[in-house]
Structure 1
Amino acid sequence: MTTDNDDTRAFLPLAFGAGVIILAIMTVAAAKEFGWLDGSAAKRLVGVSIAAMLVLMGNYIPKAGFLQLFVDAPRKSLARADLMAGRILCLAGVVIIGVWAFAAIENAQLGAALIGLAAFFLAVASWLMLKPTHTGEKS
């Protein structure tokens, strides 16, 4: 049985990681304003930072049990759906980092957006397929 203090402590690494990524984005924006970075480098760095946030969330979903907030089912029966959604988001984040790092800047924005949308739709679809019913069996 977990207490409220244990639940809060479980989210601290996620909050710290998100804070570091947000600080990186703010630093890139400031560097662009001061003229230390050109526009395309700033776009790439912000795109990589947002993709890193996707990797962070994908890594954290199975550990935190976010899907339990939406479904009243035993944690064990939600683990498979959590794990699949997390893997999809992590993989998409890594691919988006590659797109921002190696694709032409005019193609990177559209490519990253399409990959991100596809990942979210795949994660939702996998969750709908793997989510347990009220009896604990998959639907």
Structure 2
Amino acid sequence: MRALIQRVSQASVTVDGAVIGQIGQGALVLICAMQGDDDAQVQKLATKIPKLRIYKDDAGKMNRSLADVGGAVLLVSQFTLAADTTRGNRPGFSQAAPPAEGERLYDAMAAALRAQGLNVQTGRFGADMQVGLVNDGPVTIWMDTAAV
């Protein structure tokens, strides 16, 4: 699985003009299931994300985790994280998991993050979404279970 984690002061996702997910302080997590991913990759990321020390402590250093600050998660599926740009100018997405498996793993990620005690809001898998955010820092972290 691939994830792009952005520390935010606020974020929202809109579908068909209606806000379907919204958070204040926390993390916008864009997630993509890759070919061959399974529940083990979900658990890897779901365990790591809440513990990432990317929030400032009283001294202004990034020593606090999402769990420490009581932050929420806005989880948004984004198959374009699987983009292969090695040939030509049009990205290929064949490394992304098939839609049915991608949706299953996306739902499993939301459940696994909730099981960690986080407030998790979500987008809608496969929908045309508009995502708004205020990236705090900016802090943006790339994670891939192949390297975690």
Fold in common (TM above 0.5)? no
Give the TM-score taking structure 2 as reference length. Answer: 0.28
Greater relative contact order (Cα < 8 A, sep 6+): 2
Give the TM-score taking structure 1 as reference length. Answer: 0.30
Which structure is higher in helix share?
1
Structure with higher Rg: it is: 1
Which structure is higher in strand share?
2
